[in-house]
Amino acid sequence: MKMRKVAIAGVGYSGVGRNTGLSERHHAAQSALAALADSGISAKDVDGVATWGGDATDFAHMLGFGPQKWFLTVGVAPAFISPAMHAWMAVATGQADTVVAWRIMMQQPSSAAMASGSTGSMMAGMTDYHYNMAFGNFSPTVWAGLMMNRYMHETGATEEDFAKFAVIQRDYASRNPDALLRDPLTVEEYLSKPYINKPLRILDCDYPCDSGSAVIFTTEERARDLKQPVVLVETASHATIHNMNFETLPDMVRTSPVQAAENLWSHTSIKPSDVDTAQLYDGFSFITMNWLEALGLCEPLGAPEFIRNGGTTLNGKVPTNTDGGAINVGRRHGANFCIESVRQLRGQSTSQVKDAEVAVWANAVGPFAGAMLLTKG
């Protein structure tokens, strides 16, 4: 079978916000229509769908896409990279010509709901959850606190380093109208915010919201006739190393991003030193640091120093999370990193990296992860 070169032709968001009152279907429809308008593709030309959040078949019917050649509703996965990889491969293998990939993420239950004993916070795919609850672990912020603390121990990172990271990301967000948090932030303000699971503070966590994100994958050939500058998928990778119990990872500093990055670079002649901008998952801030190291964009255990020295700023070696990251744009569960990469390679970012030609975006940490490498067409 001959593999086809795949392009990303359209990107779009729904009306993202806190407790929007809209359904998953609303967010799916709004984001898909935005991505179709962005690309110039008409609904009848979509012949494949992949989503995490809602149901792919339902969304295709709702949007009048017509008969679909490829459809997938993703289960628990490393965020948006899963529907994105399936969409890419469906087009590359010729199963479909134009595939919409979604991540629809509704705001998690409020802390008030959880404190009243709501079980709505339990993840359906979580295994052995009784081993968490018996020890007072009801939130992903616990594994984040454990992983962050071990990371600080091994790297020597300080709370001030995490404050600096938050300040740099907020600076990017201040220029991005899509960001939900845009007010300038200082190191002192970060340090004055409460711990959730020490050393993890509230500004180390992505910002819960209702979001719909849609990305359209099609052939390079077709993309050349569409509205936007062409952005090509060079390659992508997945990795899983453990079951979903983050708390029992035997090495919390080197997790699945290491294997996903090795897989990624093994598929391409592009090298880490060729990367012009990186958009790296920040569900919790230390995850971006894990990815900088795993991808070889800085030295192993060197991310805190890299960030301290301005490596992730617009004038730095690898401008990173240039939309402000999910800590500021809101939890779009990985999709914002894909969309911001596309905008950078089109020259449309609100914090544009000059002459950006290679972008890497990456999702998740711990048990599973994935990454995708994009180039300017």
Which residues contribute to the site for another protein (CB under 8 A)?
Answer: 111, 114-117, 121, 131-139, 141-142, 145-150, 153, 194-200, 245, 247-250, 252
**145: helix, coil or strand?**
helix
Q: How far is the CB of 278 from another protein (least distance, A)?
A: 26
Nearer to another protein, 84 or 252 (CB): 252
Please state whether the peptide bond connecting residue 83 to the residue before it is cis, i.e. omega within 30 degrees of 0.
no
Q: Which is nearer to another protein, 70 or 368 (CB)?
A: 368
200 vs 223, beta carbon nearer another protein:
200
What values do phi and psi take at 35, rounded to 5? -70, -40
Report, in Å, the least distance between residue 205 CB and another protein: 11
Question: How close are the terminal C-alpha atoms of the chain, in Å?
Answer: 23
Q: How far is the CB of 299 from another protein (least distance, A)?
A: 21
Closest separation in Å from C-beta 366 to another protein:
12
- Tell me whether residue 197 or residue 349 sits nearer to another protein (CB atom): 197
**Amino acid occupying residue 280:** L
Q: Which is nearer to another protein, 82 or 132 (CB)?
A: 132
108 secondary structure, DSSP code: P
DSSP state of 124: T
Contact at 8 Å (CB) between 47 and 68? yes
Strand order in the sheet with 277-280: 70-73, 48-52, 98-105, 211-219, 6-13, 231-240, 368-376, 358-363, 277-280
CB of 240 or CB of 313, closer to another protein? 240
User: Shortest Cβ distance from residue 137 to another protein (Å)?
Assistant: 6
Closest approach, Cβ 118 to another protein, in A, equals: 9
Phi and psi (nearest 5°) for 201? -105, 170
Task: Provide DSSP, 55-88.
Answer: -HHHHHHHTT--S-SEEEE--S-STTHHHHHHHH
Torsion of CA 377, 374, 276, 259, to 10 degrees: -160
Of 76 and 133, nearer to another protein (C-beta) is 133
Residue 168 near residue 307 (C-beta atoms within 8 A): yes
CB of 187 to another protein, least distance (A): 20
